[in-house]
Amino acid sequence: MKAWTSASPGGPETLVLADLPIPEAAPGEVVVEVAACGINFPDSLIINDLYQTRPPRPFVPGGEIAGTITALGSGVTGLAAGDRVIARTAWGGLGQYIAVPAEKCALMPDDMGFAEGSAFLFTYATSFHALVQRGRIARGDRLLVLGAAGGTGAAAIELARAFGAHVCAAVSSKEKAKFARECGADETVIYPAGPLDKDAARALGAQFKNAGGERGFDLVYDPVGGDYAEPALRALGWKGRYLVVGFTAGIPRLPFNLPLLKGCEIVGVFNGGLNANEPHVAADNVRELIALFEQGKVRPRVSRVYAFADAPQAIAAIAGRAALGKLVVSMGEFDHG
User: What's the confidence (pLDDT) of residue 176?
Assistant: 96
**Bridge partners, residue 141, by sequence:** none
**Shared domain check, 177 and 114:** no
pLDDT in tens, 59-115: 999 999 999 999 999 999 999 999 999 999 999 999 999 999 999 999 999 999 999
Pair (161, 245) in one structural domain? yes
The number of domains in the chain is 2
**In terms of residue numbers, what domain contains 171?**
123-272
More reliable by pLDDT, 173 or 335: 173
Q: Give the domain CATH number at 88.
A: 3.90.180.10
At residue 323, the pLDDT reads: 84
Residues 42 and 143 in one domain: no
Burial code (b: 16+ CB inside 10 Å, e: under 16) for 21-53 equals: eebebeeebbbbbbbbbbbbbbbbbbbeeebee
Judge if 236 and 212 occupy the same domain: yes
**Are residues 147 and 99 part of one domain?**
no
User: How many residues does the structure list for the chain?
Assistant: 337
Among 223, 256, 272, identify where a domain stops. Answer: 272
- The chain-wide mean pLDDT, for the chain, equals 95
- For the domain that residue 138 is a member of, what is the CATH number? 3.40.50.720
Final residue in a domain of this structure, among 253, 272, 291: 272
Tell me, yes or no, whether 44 and 152 share the same domain.
no
Identify whether the C-beta of residue 243 lies closer than 8 Å to the C-beta of residue 269: yes
For residues 98 and 141, state if they share a domain: no
Please indicate, yes or no, whether residues 89 and 160 belong to a single structural domain of this protein: no
Q: How far apart are CA 24 and CA 5, in angstroms?
A: 19
Q: Which of 272, 291, 322 is the last residue of a domain?
A: 272
279 domain-assigned: no
What percentage of residues in the chain have a pLDDT greater than 90? 94
Q: pLDDT-based confidence at 5, cuts 50/70/90?
A: very high
Do 181 and 208 fall into the same domain? yes
What pLDDT sits at residue 253? 92
Q: Are residues 142 and 246 in the same domain?
A: yes
Longest CA span, the chain? 63
pLDDT at 336 over 90: no
In a domain, 86, yes or no: yes
Q: Output the pTM of the full model.
A: 0.93
